[in-house]
Amino acid sequence: MVSTFIKNGSNIILRKQSSILSAATVIMIAYGLSSLLGLVRNRLLAQLFFVNHKSLLDAYFAAFVLPDTIFQLLILGALSAAFIPVFTEALRRDKKEAWHIANSAASGILFLFLVLSAGLFIFAYPASKILAPSFTPELTQITAELIRVMLAAQFFFALSSFMTGILQSHHLFILSALAPLFYNLGIIIGTIFLSPSIGIFGPAVGVVLGSFLHFLIQLPAVIKVGFRPRLSTDWKNPYVKKMLRLMPARAFTLGLGQLERVIAVAVSSSLAAGTITLFNFARQLYILPIGILGATIGQASFPTLVHAREEGQDKFGETIAATILQLLFFVLPAAALLLVLRIPAVRLAFGSKAFPWEATLLTGKAVAIFSLSVPAQAINQLLTRSFYAAQNTKIPLISAAISTLPVIFLAPFFSIKLGLGILGIVTSIVILDFFNVIILTVVLNMLIVPGLIKRMAKPATKIAIASVATGLCLWVPLRLLDQFVFDTTKTLALIGLSTSVSVIGLVVYLILAKLLKIEQLSAVLEITQKIGNWKQVLSESEEVLESTTREV
């Protein structure tokens, strides 16, 4: 009985997968569960540290930025633009050669990663001083010590990320999608059991534990597909050299994305204690729909985009347009819902007695501004991968540079000069997010997929109209339910209010989508039918699945 259960579970986990939307649906579920644990994690942090130890919580969130930047530059830069597409190509030709390439690439990049991590470990204090110049010497020292602890977590993330790349190339991604659950569980364990004795270092140790679990959960599947890690320095291999050519542009693109977080920490450190924490809390709610919708559909689409590119420009353009419209169908109403439910969302996520009403209101305002950028950031996930599928990493880099570097000047101008505080930082990021997606869309339309904008204009307009109308329709029921039905001073009533408004929004949106004859609705109905017949789907489908959530 037990052996049969284990065998059946293994068959499901190791089943190959391939259509974008239904694959992304499973990723969304896994990401949603992980995000729920992430909210529990940060609610615990708010409850334990926000009232009496705001500065320590600021140091905790600041400390994650620099180790994560090294990870983003080297590991994700190599994986997303270089390792996965090149390894996939090699895998189709010669599996033995593909394993050799994987070991050569991983050995070189991990060595460089360890060298840079060692440098950050040694110079953690001056690096912390540059990152948060307004911290006191004592807080800077704590930040430096937290950085040293969290560097260990990035090492395990580096290993697990290469595993994710190998599994994705085999279209085996369920374990990769579930890994973030264990990451967040590790932080929760560290926060609950270690914080009473070692304070803010409890969740930091939890980050290391969570990253180890993130690595461990994927290990059996990687071994199952045949990978055996070996040290290799064959960096003259044509495939490895191709990866090295593709990697720098992607790495710098991700580095520019990290620049927003660095600037946010630097500017926030000069504002009131707790500002860095509130920025991260607002950002967590903001990236929730982006991760569930934008990142998952973008990740699920990447292997399909690579294959479509090989079939020709027409197929490539058709795949990009269809996927963007599918993404817009989900992400636009999600942004409207986040805007309407911003205060209930903040209260549910962080609103313990230790999180005061003033902090809730300020975080809610930041979430409201962030919500305007949800569609842009989600679309950016797909546009960037479209360029990478075409093996063009330079254009996303140039676009990121043009749209990100002004944050250096706009963030302090809005937040300090104009006195907007955290809202100024958020506003500057949102403005430049829109700028970036406009550049990528126009260039993709001009150079790679002519006619893309024209092809999407009409259906995208319909989706936008339905989304805006849905958002407007939700204000009245939100106010009426809040005033006459639910006592929102209680958590269960707040959940009831949020659920009721969300259901009303879903119904209104689906009705409008039907009336406006939005074609993407049929894809949603098809998935709904599949969910009702999930056993047959699991036994017959070949769908793609990948997800990562590694924010603190």
Query: What pLDDT, in 10s, does the model give residues 102-116?
Result: 888 888 878 888 898
Q: Is the dihedral of CA 45, 49, 51, 56 positive or negative?
A: negative
pLDDT of 121 > 80? The answer is yes
User: What is the pTM assigned to this prediction?
Assistant: 0.84
Mean pLDDT over the full length of the chain: 83
In percent, the amount of the chain with pLDDT more than 70 equals: 86
pLDDT in tens, 336-384: 999 999 999 999 888 767 788 999 999 999 999 999 999 998 888 888 8
Average pLDDT for 382-391: 83
Computed over its alpha carbons, how large is the radius of gyration of the chain? 23
Mean pLDDT calculated for residue range 157-177: 77
Residue 151 pLDDT level (bands cut at 50, 70, 90): very high
The most confident of 2-11, 226-235, 424-433, 444-453, by mean pLDDT: 424-433
Q: Which pLDDT does position 279 carry in this prediction?
A: 96
Q: Helical H runs in 53-172?
A: 54-63, 65-71, 77-78, 84-93, 95-122, 124-131, 137-169
Span between the terminal Cα atoms of the chain, in Å: 39
pLDDT in tens, 416-434: 999 999 999 999 999 999 9
Lowest mean pLDDT among 8-12, 55-59, 276-280: 8-12
Give the long-range contacts of residues 10-14, CB within 8 A, separation 24 or more.
12/174, 12/538, 13/172, 13/174, 13/175, 13/221, 14/172, 14/174, 14/221, 14/224
pLDDT at 42 over 70: yes
- Is residue 332 within 8 A of residue 464, CB to CB? The reply is yes
pLDDT at 27: 63
Does 444 have pLDDT greater than 70? Answer: yes
Residue pair 113/33 in contact by the 8 Å Cβ criterion: no
What pLDDT score does 13 carry? Answer: 45
- The predicted-structure confidence for 222-260, as pLDDT tens digits, reads as follows 888 888 888 887 777 787 787 777 777 767 777 777 888
Mean pLDDT of 71-94: 73
- Residues constituting the chain: 552
